[in-house]
Structure 1
Amino acid sequence: MKKDLGVKPYTFPMPVLMIATYGADGTVDVMNMAWGGVCAENMVALNIDEDHKTAENIKARGAFTLSIADIPHIKEADFFGIATGNKMPDKFARSGLHAVRSEKVDAPVVEEFPLILECRVAECQHTAYGFRVLGEIVGVLAEEAVLDEKGRVVPSRLNAFVFDQFQAGYYAIGEKVGRAWHTGAELAK
């Protein structure tokens, strides 16, 4: 029997994404975000509060990078969700991570994260549901260690983790258990 839990934003898994921007003074800012992801073949959507330093930076610079957080840097990733750039201007420096300027957009690339999407702001939306940023993916960077011999990302090599919105936990991504567009094909016959 099912129990009614009311209205909650319960989906699982939720990605743990790192949004990196530059402030007005060139300071690197990184924010941990779970409410966003791919919304078209070359687009991402970020649903963030407009009062975040990251939102201010995105509007001013018109660009950001979006990285997949990995288990070796879970402490830093969680810190980016705890600390706010509005109150802690040296937030990124405290993390001990390193950044270089993207060659494609006016945003930083965090060197320690294994997969980075370089994005140009396509649109900022103000809706009854909040502030949303649509970003056009103009480049993708990946550490060679996470690629197979054909240059494709191997998910298990990312060491990514996901967010559990039910109990505020992080979970490692497990083993491959099926093949998309194949595992259920026999039911289509």
Structure 2
Amino acid sequence: MRKNFGAKPWTYPQPVFIVGTFDEEGRPNAMNAAWGGIDYDDQINLCLSAGHKTVKNLLATRAFTVSMGTVEQLVACDYVGIVSGNKEAEKFAKAGFHAVKSEFVNAPLIEELPMAVECELISYDAETCHLVGRIVNVSADECILDEQGKIDPDKLHALTFDPVHNAYLAIGEKVGNAFRDGLKLKA
């Protein structure tokens, strides 16, 4: 038997996305955004309310990065989600983050978060909080690459958000092979 919870913003897993921007003076800022995902090969969607400093920045610069939150940076990732850049000018530094300008967009890569999606703004609707970005590049620090030069999820140690219990979870073990295991059922 199932229990009904009604309309809730609950899915599993929900990635912990850290959205990075520069303001008009080139100061970095970051925020934690749990609601987002990929919808086309080259687009990312996020739900970000208009009052965020990060949103004001990306509307001005038309660029942003989306870094994957990691277990090792859990405290800093949570901090940038609970402290407003509108009220704390040194939020990025207080999180212990260090910025390097992306080669592809006018937005910061966060040195402490080893994987990022670098994006240009396509659209933003302040009424629905719906942001769409065009993916220009994905970058990863060599420390999270495997022997074939691909991103190793075990080395990335990405966080997910549990919206039911307000908790962070680590990505788990490999349990199967995509686009292959299901072939067992194919006639």
Q: Which TM-score applies when normalising by structure 1?
A: 0.94
- 3-state SS in 2 of match to 1:76: helix
1:38 equivalent to 2:38? Answer yes
**Alpha-carbon shift at residue 38 of structure 1 (Å):** 1.1
| Runs of 5+ consecutive residues of structure 1 not aligned to the other structure | none
* Equivalent runs, 1:34-183 vs 2, <5 Å: 34-126=34-126, 130-183=128-181
Aligned mates of 1:5, 1:139 — CA distance in 2: 38
- What's the offset of the Cα at 1:26? 1.9
Q: CA deviation at 1:126?
A: 4.6
For normalisation by structure 2, the TM-score amounts to: 0.95
- Per the TM alignment, residue 24 of structure 1 is displaced from its structure 2 partner at its CA by 2.4
Structure 2 stretches of 5 or more lacking a match? none
Q: Distance in 2 between matches of 1:21 and 1:126?
A: 18
CA distance in 2, matches of 1:119, 1:5: 35
Q: Let me know the Cα RMSD of the aligned residues.
A: 1.2
Instruction: Please give the per-residue CA displacement for 1:117-170, whole angstroms capped at 9, x wherever unaligned.
Output: 11111222355xx12121111111111121122221111110111000001001
Runs of 4+ in 1 over 4 A off after TM superposition: none
Deviations 1:35-73 (A, max 9, x none): 112111111111111111111111100000110111111
The one-letter code sitting in structure 2 at the alignment partner of 1:173 is I
